[in-house]
């Protein structure tokens, strides 16, 4: 048994390779750094989906189809009655995604990918009390995603920065949300269901929910001279530093540097990057002493937070913007799982009470012990 499935290999993939010892991420034969510099997000969708859909058109036509899919997703937003109230941003995006029809084909892949972008922009605007902006299918995906959010013309630098971000996070081996997407797909639930499983898993603070708290940390620290003391107090309380540590990487996450390069191409509030770099240096130094046996380095989320803030996104939207990129990878993995994988169904070890000797009848469980009960089923075939 392996708690957290650490070290377990559960899929063969042609999509991406995470080399944790050397800090390298390869996506379909390309280094992530090269890909984020040279390709736009729709090119990378084409790269990742190649061979997984019979009717995949060339990259240019795919871009046009994705533009039309944004319009279709916008209609779905209207049919759903707009952005739901009373939910946080990721929950609202997830609720809107749940309105999209399921399916296994390219139409569903495009509608779901478009949906995450359209719904993220609409949720962001509703937070500002503004109505959603209709997509412009003639624009490229990154430019239109930013335009739907800001409702103004988008500069080339901003669009390139979002493109580079979405490419950088598009796929990353069998991370938690991709695994969840593959589990859903393995039951033949459909691509929209796989993406919903991915979003639901991504939102946790140990995964794609980390960048919001990174901004909270930087805001709380406020100035370079307070960094060490703040970090030491946080670690003494048993808190984890968001944006540091990784299950697979034992060295710096290569995506952190790819995003830092992009960040430098954007105008930032003066002092923002300097503070972040000082906090990063202090955190790495203190973490080395705090956990000498465990290499805890900067992960993708640290510079994600700064980059998405520089693009004008409120921290509440960071996880959904992450999902805009990762949806492409979830869909590729879901298709790969359906085409070549088996139903994913591991087993568990039962450590609950033994069957009552009287009749085989399971005694009722009191509410107090019920809350502690460990779900256990290894014999059931379902």
Site membership for ligand ACO, residue 228 (CB under 6 A): no
Task: Specify the length of the chain in residues.
Answer: 382
Ranked by CB distance to ligand ACO, the top (closest) residue is 245
Q: How far is the CB of 282 from ligand ACO (least distance, A)?
A: 13
**227's tokens:** 């960094």
Binding flag, residue 208, ligand ACO (CB under 6 A): yes
* Interacting span for ligand ACO (CB under 6 A) from 21-29, 75-83, 207-215, 369-377: 207-215
DSSP string over 58-81: -HHHHHHHHHHHHHHHHHHHHHTT
Q: Is 333 an annotated catalytic residue?
A: no
d(CA 226, CA 220): 9
Q: Please give the order of strands across the beta sheet that includes 16-19.
A: 16-19, 24-27, 30-31
Degrees to nearest 5, angle at CA 143 with 30 and 312? 100
3-state secondary structure of 309: helix
CA–CA separation, 362 vs 373, rounded Å? 14
212 is an interface residue for ligand ACO by CB under 6 A: no
Q: State the pairing for strand pair 30-31/24-27.
A: antiparallel
Q: Which of 46, 150, 246, 333 is catalytic?
A: 246
Q: Does 99 qualify as catalytic in the annotation? A: no
Residue 258 interacts with ligand ACO (CB under 6 A)? no
List 63, 158, 280, 301, catalytic entry: 301
Task: Choose, by CB under 6 A, the member of 115, 137, 245, 325 that binds ligand ACO.
Answer: 245
* Among the listed residues 232, 256, 174, the one whose alpha carbon sits nearest the alpha carbon of residue 10: 174
User: Of 188 and 294, which CB lies nearer to ligand ACO in the complex structure?
Assistant: 294
Angle at 36 between CA 33 and CA 41, to 5 degrees: 150
226 binds ligand ACO (CB under 6 A): no
324 binds ligand ACO (CB under 6 A): no
State the Cα–Cα distance between residues 160 and 109, nearest whole angstrom: 23
Q: Binding pattern to ligand ACO, positions 163-202, x when CB under 6 A? A: ----------------------------------------
Q: Supply the minimum distance, in Å, between the C-beta of residue 275 and ligand ACO.
A: 18
Examine residue 300 and tell whether it contacts ligand ACO (CB under 6 A): yes
**Cα–Cα distance between 371 and 215 in angstroms, integer?**
34
Site residues, ligand ACO (CB under 6 A): 206-208, 210, 240-247, 291, 294, 296, 299-301
- Residues with catalytic roles: 246, 301
């Amino acid at each position: 048994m392996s708690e957290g499935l650490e070290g377990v290999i559960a899929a063969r993939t042609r999509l991406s390779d995470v080399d944790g010892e050397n800090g390298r991420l390869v996506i379909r034969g390309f280094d992530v750094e090269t890909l984020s510099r040279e390709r736009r997000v729709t090119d990378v969708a084409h790269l990742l989906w190649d061979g997984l859909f019979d009717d995949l058109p060339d990259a240019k036509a795919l871009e046009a189809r994705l533009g039309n899919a944004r319009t279709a997703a916008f209609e779905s937003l209207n049919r759903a009655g707009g952005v739901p109230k009373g939910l946080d941003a990721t929950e609202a995006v997830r609720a809107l995604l749940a309105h999209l029809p399921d399916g296994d084909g390219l139409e569903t892949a495009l509608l779901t990918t478009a949906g995450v972008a359209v719904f993220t922009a609409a949720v962001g605007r509703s937070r500002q009390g503004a109505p959603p902006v209709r997509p412009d299918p003639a624009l490229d995906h990154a430019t239109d995603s930013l335009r739907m959010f800001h409702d103004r013309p988008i500069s080339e630098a901003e669009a390139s920065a979002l493109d580079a971000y979405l490419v950088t996070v598009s796929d990353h081996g069998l991370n938690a949300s991709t695994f969840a997407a593959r589990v859903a797909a393995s039951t033949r639930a459909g691509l929209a269901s796989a993406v919903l499983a991915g979003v639901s898993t991504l939102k946790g603070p140990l995964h794609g929910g980390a960048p919001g708290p990174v901004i909270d940390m930087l805001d709380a620290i406020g100035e370079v001279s307070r960094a060490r003391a703040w970090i030491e107090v946080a670690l003494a309380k048993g808190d984890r530093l968001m944006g540091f540590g990784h299950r697979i990487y034992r060295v710096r996450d290569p995506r952190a540097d790819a995003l830092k390069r992009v960040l430098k191409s954007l105008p930032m509030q003066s002092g923002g990057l300097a503070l972040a770099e000082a906090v990063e240096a202090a955190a790495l130094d203190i973490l080395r002493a705090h956990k000498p046996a465990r290499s805890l380095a900067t992960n993708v989320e640290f510079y994600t937070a700064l980059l998405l803030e520089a693009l004008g996104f409120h921290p509440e939207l960071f996880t959904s913007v992450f999902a805009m990129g990762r949806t492409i990878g979830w869909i590729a993995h879901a298709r790969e799982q359906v085409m070549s994988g088996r139903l994913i169904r591991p087993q568990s070890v039962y450590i609950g009470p033994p069957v009552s000797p009287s009749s085989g009848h399971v005694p009722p469980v009191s509410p107090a012990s019920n809350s502690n009960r460990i779900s256990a089923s290894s014999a059931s075939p379902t």
